[in-house]
Amino acid sequence: MMKMLRKFNCLSYWNKVASRSVVVTVMLLAAAASGWAQQTPLGEVFTIAEGLAVATNDGRVMKIAAQNIDISEKEADVAMAVLLPSINAEISEGFLQHKPTAIFSTQRVPMANRDSFSYGVNIKQTLYNFGANTSSYKAALEARESAKVDYERIRNLTALEFILGCYEVLEYDKMIDVSQMEIDRIGLHLKVAHELFKEGAITKNDLLQAEVRLADGKQTLLNFKNLRMISASKLNNMLLRPLMADVSIAEPAEAVPEHIEIAQYQEMAQNQRPEVQIIDHELQILTLQEQIKFSEYLPSFYTMGGYNYTENDYQVYERSWSLILGAKLNLYSGGSTKAELSKLRLKKGRVTEQRKKLLDNIALEIERYYLSVKTASEKLLVVKDSVAQAEENLKINRTRYENGQGTATDVIDAITLLTHTQVNYYSALYEQRRAYAGLVYSSGTDLKEQFK
């Protein structure tokens, strides 16, 4: 019964792998469409750090994120403009049907030329509006800083995606090796079975069993190669390389610490996570917008001056300088200012609650990754010696079979058990590495620096 359960578990695993296989033809067509792309210069075997340098600097996602910073810079320049004086120049030529004329008693007195030429230059500067303009500029600066933080968020998220992609490719490499070793072991068993069959020591059923298992192993190997090709294409896409370019990644050194304190990562997340910083900038922007809107209740003081010329033969002074000091106050706007203030305060309350919810989600995310690292580490400890034991088990059953004391089923089960143990080991290994990368990301630490 135990043999049957082991065989069932292993075959179930292979069936799951087969169900994930994708038709490679689609990838080939996509590669043909992107074959014009220039391959990013990387070594034949590149490290994760080398790939990160390309993906987090030259990737299309990062170029789009950089444009957001440029846009926010220009928006800050627009907000800066309201702090500076506005200068307007005007020139005109007028043509009237009748000459402007006034009546004084019984006399008609001309007032201006029928055709006249005029020009002028005027300057207007807001002197004080209770911080409305300066608050608008500060809000634009906050938005610019938020865009920069968002750029770092996208870069770190891209780094995480790339690292996980590298681990996926490396894991598939190990699975391909395991599948190939399984095929070699079954092939060796089949060779021995052929010799024993020729001698009449076994029945043909043993040969058929081995041949079916060999075909199943070859199919599993093909599935892993297809899945590995798809994962490699994802990495090539991030590296701006042709999709079907060869991807060879150097196996990283062990980077998972033996002892991890979850409280340390949670504290780091509160101070470093870009999402928290972005919400803080958003709260500051809402506070500044509230100040801008409240200033509408108060007067705005300004000065305006200029020089104007109007051609008029009947006017004593055609040229004149002017200086005006004024104040402007909106007495009533239908209650829109009060409504806008209420809306901004409600937004601040909502964003404040969103910040609390975000911190809760980050804490849960860190705990999930922490437990995943811990579970994977415990799995590695359990399975660490199992591979050697499974190899010894196969050796014993193979010797017994060759001496006529065991059955072909015993050998096939031993091969299946060894394969299953090796799969468990590599699955736990890369599960641990992926979970640790996620834990570092959740804390807000720069993955590019962490994995250099």
Is 134 domain-assigned? no
Res 193: pLDDT: 84
Number of other CB atoms surrounding residue 422 within 10 Å:
22
Is 319 domain-assigned? no
Please report which confidence band the pLDDT of residue 136 belongs to, taking 50, 70 and 90 as the band edges. very high
Is 36 domain-assigned? yes
Report residue 223 as tokens.
């599935």
Give the pLDDT confidence of 358-391 residue by residue, as tens digits: 999 999 999 999 999 999 999 998 898 899 999 9
Res 43: pLDDT: 57
Give the pLDDT confidence of 57-83 residue by residue, as tens digits: 988 899 999 999 999 999 999 999 989
What CATH number did the domain enclosing 170 receive? 1.20.1600.10
Q: Distance (Å, rounded) from C-alpha 36 to C-alpha 245? A: 12
Number of domains the chain contains: 1
% of the chain surpassing 90 pLDDT: 64
Report residue 108: phi and psi, to 5°. Answer: -105, 120
Is 307 domain-assigned? no
Question: Are 152 and 68 in contact, with CB atoms under 8 Å apart?
Answer: no
Residue ranges making up the domain that contains 13 = 2-85+151-296+335-450
Q: Distance (Å, rounded) from C-alpha 125 to C-alpha 300? A: 11
The answer, yes or no, to whether residue 258 has pLDDT greater than 90, is no
Res 184: pLDDT: 94
Is 95 domain-assigned? no
Tell me the C-alpha to C-alpha distance, in Å, between residue 154 and each of 22, 61, 159, 406: 29, 8, 8, 59
Is 269 domain-assigned? yes
Task: Output the average pLDDT for the chain.
Answer: 87
The answer, yes or no, to whether residue 309 has pLDDT greater than 70, is yes
The answer, yes or no, to whether residue 270 has pLDDT greater than 80, is yes
Q: Distance (Å, rounded) from C-alpha 10 to C-alpha 419? A: 8
Is 112 domain-assigned? no
Give the pLDDT confidence of 168-219 residue by residue, as tens digits: 999 999 999 999 999 999 999 888 888 888 877 777 888 888 889 999 999 9
Report residue 3 as tokens.
């043999």
Res 41: pLDDT: 53
Helix H, strand E, coil C: the string for the chain is CHHHHHHHHHHHHHHHHHHCCCCHHHHHHHHHHCCCCCCCCCCCCECHHHHHHHHCCCCHHHHHHHHHHHHHHHHHHHHHHCCCCEEEEEEEEEECCCCCEEEECCEEEECCCCEEEEEEEEEEEEEECCCHHHHHHHHHHHHHHHHHHHHHHHHHHHHHHHHHHHHHHHHHHHHHHHHHHHHHHHHHHHHHHHHHHHCCCCCHHHHHHHHHHHHHHHHHHHHHHHHHHHHHHHHHHHCCCCCCCCCCECCCCCCCCCCCCHHHHHHHHHHHCHHHHHHHHHHHHHHHHHHHHHHHHCCEEEEEEEEEEECCCCCCCCEEEEEEEEEECCCCCCCHHHHHHHHHHHHHHHHHHHHHHHHHHHHHHHHHHHHHHHHHHHHHHHHCCHHHHHHHHHHHHHHHHHCCCCCHHHHHHHHHHHHHHHHHHHHHHHHHHHHHHHHHHHCCCCHHHHCC
The answer, yes or no, to whether residue 288 has pLDDT greater than 60, is yes
Give the pLDDT confidence of 334-351 residue by residue, as tens digits: 899 999 999 999 999 999
Is 98 domain-assigned? no
Please report which confidence band the pLDDT of residue 313 belongs to, taking 50, 70 and 90 as the band edges. confident
